[in-house]
Chain A
Amino acid sequence: MAVSATAMNEEPRVVLSARGLSKSFGAFRAVNRVDLDIHHARVHALIGPNGAGKTTVFNLLTKFLQPTEGTITLLGTDITKTPADKVARMGLVRSFQISAVFPHLSVLDNVRIALQRPNGLSTQFWLPTSALNRLNARADELIEAVGLKRERDALAADLSYGRKRVLEIATTLALDPQVLLLDEPMAGMGQEDIGTVSSIIRDVAKTRAVLMVEHNLSVVANICHQVTVLQRGEILAEGDYATVSQDERVRLAYMGAEEA
């Protein structure tokens, strides 16, 4: 519907893909043989009831967890055995379901931490912190883009839950990643922030790939080109929102989840 037409017409390029991705915790199989293709310039939604394994899939793709089986390819490189920090440096950056900020640092410092490494300012132990001031212009741009200007000098810990999520998005964007994985980015946000973040994601996805877990189905309908439904660790359905939302099994899974 609101999905940009030009993006749909471009030849979609796969930037991140998983084949036969599985993860067992002891005898429990949290993710079972999942195949995923994430495309450049697309927003891809991963939905499904609580406990379906969405966060675990994120942990596997970003290598915060080692898959039990399967392979992951990022921008043509096999990253199945690559450590998490290296994966991030290769251009796959995630956010966390539980908001992840540096609580006792200011909003500005939070964003600057993200900017330090790509700008080669993270190992100098002999320079004063004022050397980081040259990151301020870019940091302020990002802070303004997500609407945190007024809170720039506040401690991250003092922000409301929704604003922390917004800050986390700003720090993620600071890395200018090729692929963004956002785990429930709008959970706990007010309507105003949902609007802001939706348009940011749509904007960002013009030149990058986004995979997001989202429970707010109107957001999914509005900004996602592709939807994958996960249930008990397996893919239940896949396609655009219209197709998936008509799927009888998906409706059942969602109703079932709501009843429980």
Chain B
Amino acid sequence: MTHGTSATARTERSASASKTYAAFLIIGLVLLIVAPAFFYPIFIMKLLCFALFACAFNLLLGYTGLLSFGHATFFGGAAYFTAHVVKEWGFSPELGILVGVVGAALLGLVMGYVAIRRQGIYFAMITLALSQMFFFFCLQAKFTHGEDGIQSVPRGHLFGFIDLNSSTNMYYFVLAVFLIGMVIIWRFINSPFGMILKSIRENEQRAISLGYSVARYKLGAFVMSAALAGLAGGTKALVFQFATLTDVAWQMSGEVILMTLLGGIGTLIGPIFGAGLVVTLQNYLATSQFPVTIVTGIVFMVCVLVFRRGLIGEFYASRLGRKLGFEHRR
């Protein structure tokens, strides 16, 4: 009996949650559509790129439980690939981004294959070591132009006729990329594959005993996460029209961890807010004399101490959040 009622209550709550989700989704979409009227488009485009990057990272940390310290490789690597093929080989922007995505996925396959069988801190260390190797490769390789990076990358024409040099066109293109990325993540999490990932996170031993080769599922999630980080990185290269060493450096890997933790691990939209907070802070502080890293460090510490579940995670777990029908998993 008690189980019966708790199950019904759960179904009702999740029904109300999906209503709330739909409402928030529509509000969010409207805000994003009208945003260029109120903010610098380039600022929101940057924010969207990092938001997608953080969500891609969260696919791994939040839904697979793997802490990668090498995600800059996929973000920055894709930026280089896209910038190179668009500038030197005259690829169209959509094809250029696709090259970035495929390149990042291949890098993800290699890094994932080497790292996936390690646990916890060893996994993080191996991903860090491999991404440092990639950093030095980018420093030395010819096509990346070392310290200069690849400059003045043309944005070109989307599908041959939409001029991306118009910042309005570019903005809606980036918004479309962001939304496509989010839909892919959402589908991935809520798919048969996603169910197996969930079961592995819940009880890895049991998943093995049911015959699942856990390493392969984790590798699948790793490659997907890398590809989506590449989608964000390739797009960013077109937004700023350059690709540099900053995006493959270890600090970038750290930043995306920060964004994800700030927003809320394992929540679909948390990392968007985490990225928003970090990017806004950086933009704001860039013009003041405060040292950016110290301030973000302090914000991070405060958040870890006060909002342990991250901003969105805390909101879900709060009285208001629960009233609206959300449920936090951990």
Contacts and interface: CB of A to CB of B under 8 A. Distances in A.
Interface in B94-145: none
7 A-B pairs with least C-beta separation: A88-B211, A125-B193, A153-B7, A154-B3, A100-B206, A102-B202, A89-B211
Name the interface size band of chain B. Answer: 20 to 34
A175 B205 contact: no
Given A122-B192, A123-B220, A175 B211 contact: yes
Interface stretch (A12-20, A103-111, A185-193, A249-257): A103-111
Interface of B: 3-4, 6-8, 10-11, 187-188, 190-196, 198-199, 202-203, 205-214, 220, 224, 329
Nearest to B205: A100
Interface in A217-238: none
A151 B195 CA distance: 20
Nearest to A117: B211
B3 A104 contact: no
A154 B9 CA distance: 10
Contact of B210 (A103, A104, A175): A175
A193 to B, nearest CB: 15
A103 B211 CA distance: 19
Contacts of B10: 153, 155
Contacts of B6: 154-155, 158
A171 interface: yes
Nearest to B213: A85
Contacts of A123: 192-193, 220
B211 A128 contact: no
Contacts of B329: 104
Contact of B4 (A112, A117, A154, A155): A154
Interface of A: 62, 64, 83-86, 88-89, 93-96, 100-106, 109, 112-114, 116-117, 121-129, 131-132, 150-155, 158-159, 171, 175
The dominant DSSP class at the A interface is loop
B208 A84 contact: yes
A62 B209 contact: yes
A64 B210 contact: no
Given A94-B209, A101-B206, A125 B7 contact: no
Contacts of A102: 198-199, 202-203, 206
A128 B210 contact: no
19 contacts: A64-B208, A85-B213, A85-B214, A88-B211, A100-B205, A102-B199, A102-B206, A104-B202, A112-B195, A117-B210, A122-B192, A124-B192, A125-B191, A125-B193, A128-B191, A129-B191, A153-B8, A154-B3, A175-B211
B191 A124 contact: yes
Nearest to A100: B206
A99 to B, nearest CB: 10
B3 A122 contact: no
Contacts of B213: 83, 85-86
A85 B193 contact: no
A125 B59 CA distance: 13
Contacts of B224: 125
B199 to A, nearest CB: 5
Contacts of A100: 203, 205-206, 209
Contacts of B212: 85, 117, 122
B223 to A, nearest CB: 11
A103 B202 contact: yes
A129 B208 contact: no
A105 B202 contact: yes
Given A102-B199, A105-B202, A150-B4, A127 B191 contact: yes
A116 B207 CA distance: 11
Contacts of A122: 192-193, 195-196, 212
B3 A131 contact: no
Contact of A113 (B4, B7, B8, B199): B199
B118 to A, nearest CB: 16
Contacts of A113: 195-196, 199, 207, 210
A104 B327 CA distance: 12
A116 B192 contact: yes
A189 to B, nearest CB: 17
Nearest to B193: A125
A109 B202 CA distance: 12
A77 B157 CA distance: 60
A95 B212 CA distance: 15
Contacts of B191: 124-129, 131
B313 to A, nearest CB: 15
B205 A96 contact: yes
Given A122-B192, A131-B192, 18 more contacts: A64-B208, A101-B206, A102-B202, A105-B198, A113-B207, A117-B211, A122-B195, A124-B192, A125-B191, A125-B193, A126-B187, A128-B187, A128-B191, A132-B192, A151-B3, A151-B4, A153-B8, A154-B3
Contacts of B203: 100-103
A198 to B, nearest CB: 22
Given A105-B198, A155-B10, A125 B188 contact: yes
Contacts of A84: 208-209
Nearest to B202: A102
B211 A96 contact: no
A129 B195 contact: yes
Contacts of A153: 7-8, 10-11
A85 B195 contact: no
